[in-house]
Amino acid sequence: MPKVRVEEVARFMRECFQATGVPEKEAREHTDLLLQADFTGHYSHGLNRVEFYVNDLLSGATNPKGKPVVLKENACTAWVDGGNALGATVGNFSMDLAIKKAKESGVGWVATKGSTHFGMAGWWAQRAEKHGLIGMAFTNTSPLLVPTRAKKGALGTNPIAFAAVASGGDSMLVDLSTTAVALGKVEIKIHEGKPLPDGWAMDKDGKPTNDPKVGFESGHLYPLGGEEKTGGYKGYCLSAMNEVFCSSLSGALASHQRPWGGTNPEDPPNLGQMFVAIDPGCFAPGFGDRLAESLSHWRGLPPADPSLPVLAPGDKERNHLEQTKKRGTIVYEPKQIETCAALAKRLGVKPIQTL
């Protein structure tokens, strides 16, 4: 399996974005966003997504020099137009605004329209957590989720993210799609040459499939929970709740109004997102201590399998991050490196150098 030094991955990503006209600052910010996904083991949202962003930048669907603007605001809320800028550009602007309001007024809720794919949702929740705040982030996407009893996608993977800091340097992170998996996970199975687990995807007729190529091409994903008999309607409802935050409040397109598979530059993505920051100091004293106690309690529960200790939300990502930093390298599938080599040639940038 090819290994790549972290700084080499960062160089490649940054140069790819700059080759499409993205300013250096914004290219570095978006690179940081994607690197965090690979650092924490969420390979579907890291290097794997570079070509996706490049295609939208080259087509004009994403504006490489776009700048978000505030359309309306008060002490605790704001409505933002992202200007079809890169997801990191829009996310930094919107979450920083929510953080500012939370520090001044206790809570900040920012609804954003005119945005583009903003990568791993947890990155934005953690941006608030670094300021001692509770952070939440939501986004809608293309219609990939097939509602319970339907056979056509109508909602997005519509992820939900939550992060909070606890005492003693501990923290909690929740970052999940409201589909059984993100579509990028299906794409990774294609690279690996492995079948899909049951309950991930359907074919074009709404029938279960274990073929990753069929699942990827249909773009039909089960809700979180899978079929109706296993509680899939709960994932469907969570996705619908997310949609209210992201499109109904922001004025962005709803997931079902956006076609799957490519974007017309004359009809930009217009994704809707919500960024939330909350100051726990405005509530009962001792928040950090109580959260730390809960995290410790959960980890201390007797495991069903002694070889698999119980994890608190966010532990898996934290452990992977520490291992990656210690190694200084990221391991990728050979197919991923091949894809990046073709992209490098297309853009005229230096290809990734593996170890």
Tell whether 55 and 73 lie within a shared domain.
Answer: no
Helix, strand, or coil (residue 320): helix
Measured from the Cβ of residue 286, the count of other Cβ atoms closer than 10 Å reads 12
Tell whether 85 and 151 lie within a shared domain.
Answer: yes
Tell whether 118 and 97 lie within a shared domain.
Answer: yes
Tell whether 40 and 138 lie within a shared domain.
Answer: no
How many domains would you assign to the chain? 2
The yes-or-no verdict on residue 183 having pLDDT over 90 is no
Model confidence pLDDT, tens digit, residues 282-307: 999 999 999 999 999 999 999 999 99
Please give the residue range of the domain that contains residue 165.
67-180+222-299
Tell whether 158 and 35 lie within a shared domain.
Answer: no
Model confidence pLDDT, tens digit, residues 26-62: 999 999 999 999 999 999 899 999 999 999 999 999 9
Tell whether 24 and 115 lie within a shared domain.
Answer: no
Tell whether 11 and 107 lie within a shared domain.
Answer: no
Tell whether 155 and 109 lie within a shared domain.
Answer: yes
Q: Does residue 192 sit within a domain?
A: no
Q: Does residue 208 sit within a domain?
A: no
Strands laid side by side in the 171-176 sheet: 69-73, 77-81, 107-115, 271-278, 134-139, 160-165, 171-176
Q: Does residue 277 sit within a domain?
A: yes
The yes-or-no verdict on residue 266 having pLDDT over 80 is no
Q: Does residue 231 sit within a domain?
A: yes
Helices (H) and strands (E) in the chain, counts: 11, 12
In angstroms, the first-to-last Cα distance of the chain is 10
Q: Which residues pair with 161 in a beta bridge?
A: 137, 175
Tell whether 168 and 232 lie within a shared domain.
Answer: yes
Q: Does residue 305 sit within a domain?
A: no
Q: Which of 30-34, 254-258, 268-272 has the highest mean pLDDT?
A: 30-34
Tell whether 279 and 160 lie within a shared domain.
Answer: yes
Q: Does residue 55 sit within a domain?
A: yes
pLDDT, average across residues 171-198: 93
* Pure H helices in the chain: 6-19, 24-39, 50-59, 87-105, 121-129, 183-192, 212-218, 232-243, 287-299, 315-327, 334-347
